[in-house]
Amino acid sequence: MIAEHLSENELQQYVSDSLHCEQSIREHIKSCYICKEKAETYQILFSGIQRQQKPEFDFNLTDLVIAQLEQPKRSFSTNIVVAYLLSSIGITAVLISCFLFHEYLSGLFIRYSNLLIYLFMAITAVVFLFQCIEICRKYKKQIGVLNLS
Amino acid sequence: MSGNKENIQKDRYWIDRVLGGDTNAFATIIQNTEGLVTQIVFKMISRTEDRKDIAQDIYLKAFKSLPGFRYQSKLSTWIAQIAYNTCLTYLEKKKLVLIDNRNENIETDDDSLEFVGSKSVIGLFNQTENDIFQRELNEILKSEIELLSPLHKTLITLYHNEELSYEEIARITQLPEGTVKNYLFRARRSLKDNLLRKYKKEEL
């Protein structure tokens, strides 16, 4: 048995788990009125803490979180629908224009000389080539960033 | 041990459903873990208006990181760890103190130590007086717990209210088990000393 009074640590050990704490601590508590009283103070404290009311949010957390999880999906699908719709309208408009004004368009090529047409095609090809090079360069750069991270 | 296996199986079931695209399953995960997360948020964050954003942030982070969950702990422990880290980041951003040792070394004399214990031990109170004493004690205790540092409050709550083991608390706070025990000891002692001081003052 421990002759001196128990330390605060031993008292807490006893109150937390009296069955599994050292035998000497249990024996001391049985025979020492002062330590028994101190232990009971801790006992009151521990049960007081356990009796404390559990806090609650004043809003529905589940609803708030779930709404945010579904939101990106919805906006993503809406964007795709809008993109498809605009593309369809654009393509339809071009096709209708081609159909309505096909005589003027073919006249455009007949009226101007071959040299002008070749020049126009060359410029278009150069611009297209530059665009392709630029896209390749950007793609390589982005892949490089991804590999690094 | 079988309880552990059962927990893992339950966790796996809900996680698989969430990863399969069932967001309602995540609602169940929130409902199952909300109590623990609420305790951490309330103990770590004192500003009521910030708690709402932080609580949402915790679950959004958990949702994003769910594919990376490796079943090394219970799902609730893992989410509690996210909650603790999120609150910690908030405290760091606001330059708030996680642990305050100013009230650690308050010593209480033996006369006052005996005061609270003696009332119930010796049986001086009848039932009505005892009920009043318990109500008073609860109120004082509530305000005294609020005065503790965020870390001490959290540890006390996780251990005594949520009944988590030292190992689980260590995992949530990413502190060594010994440090958790040490902080808990100090927090309880500080709480007891403050409580006794308060009682003594009120008696005077």
pLDDT tens for B141-200 read: 888 999 899 999 999 999 999 999 999 999 999 999 999 999 999 999 999 888 888 776
- Quick: pLDDT tens for A53-79: 999 999 999 999 999 986 444 445 566
Do the domain assignments include residue A105?
Answer: yes
Mutation for A interface: B63, B154, B188, B190, most A CBs within 10 A:
B188
If asked whether residues A118 and A143 sit together in one domain, one would say yes
Do the domain assignments include residue B134?
Answer: yes
- B196-202 contacts at long range (C-beta below 8 A, 24 or more positions apart): B196/A41, B196/B108, B196/B112, B196/B113, B196/B115, B196/B116, B197/B106, B197/B108, B197/B112, B198/B140, B198/B144, B199/B112, B199/B115, B199/B116, B199/B140, B200/B112, B200/B115
**Domain at B17, CATH number:** 1.10.1740.10
Give the total number of structural domains in chain A: 3
Residue position matching structure tokens 């249990």? A26
If asked whether residues A44 and A12 sit together in one domain, one would say yes
Do the domain assignments include residue A121?
Answer: yes
Do the domain assignments include residue A46?
Answer: yes
Phi-psi region of A113 (alpha: psi -120 to 50; beta: other; left: phi over 0): beta
Burial class (CB in 10 A: 0-12, 13-18, 19+), A62: middle
How far out from the chain centre does Cα A55 lie? 27
Do the domain assignments include residue B101?
Answer: no
Query: Of B32, B64, B93, at which residue does a domain stop?
Result: B93
Judge: A41–B113 Cβ closer than 8 Å, yes or no. yes
If asked whether residues B131 and B193 sit together in one domain, one would say yes
Residue position matching structure tokens 């605009």? A86
If asked whether residues A19 and A47 sit together in one domain, one would say yes
Q: What SS3 class is residue B174?
A: coil
Angle at which helices B166-173 and B177-203 cross, to 10°: 100
If asked whether residues A89 and A120 sit together in one domain, one would say no
Give the total number of structural domains in chain B: 2
Does A72 touch chain B if contact means CB atoms closer than 8 Å?
no
Q: What SS3 class is residue B71?
A: coil
If asked whether residues B88 and B115 sit together in one domain, one would say no
If asked whether residues B190 and B165 sit together in one domain, one would say yes
If asked whether residues B60 and B130 sit together in one domain, one would say no
How far out from the chain centre does Cα A73 lie? 13
Do the domain assignments include residue B143?
Answer: yes
Question: Which residue type occupies B170?
Answer: A
**CB A29, CB A6: distance < 8 Å:** yes
If asked whether residues B82 and B7 sit together in one domain, one would say yes
If asked whether residues B75 and B117 sit together in one domain, one would say no
Q: What is the mean pLDDT of chain B?
A: 84
Do the domain assignments include residue A126?
Answer: yes
Do the domain assignments include residue A66?
Answer: no
A17-21, A69-73, B12-16, B132-136, range with the lowest pLDDT: A69-73
**Domain at B169, CATH number:** 1.10.10.10
More confident residue, A146 or B23: B23
Q: Residue A135's domain spans which residues?
A: 113-149
Q: In chain B, what residues touch A51 (CB-CB under 8 Å)?
A: 134, 138
Smallest CA–CA distance from B196 into chain A, residue: A41
**CB A37, CB B117: distance < 8 Å:** yes
Cα B167 from Cα B177, distance rounded (Å) = 6
> Tell me, what's the pLDDT at B108?
46
Do the domain assignments include residue A40?
Answer: yes
Q: Residue B164's domain spans which residues?
A: 110-203
Do the domain assignments include residue A33?
Answer: yes
Does an H or E element contain B50, and which?
A: helix B48-65
pLDDT of B140 higher than 90: no
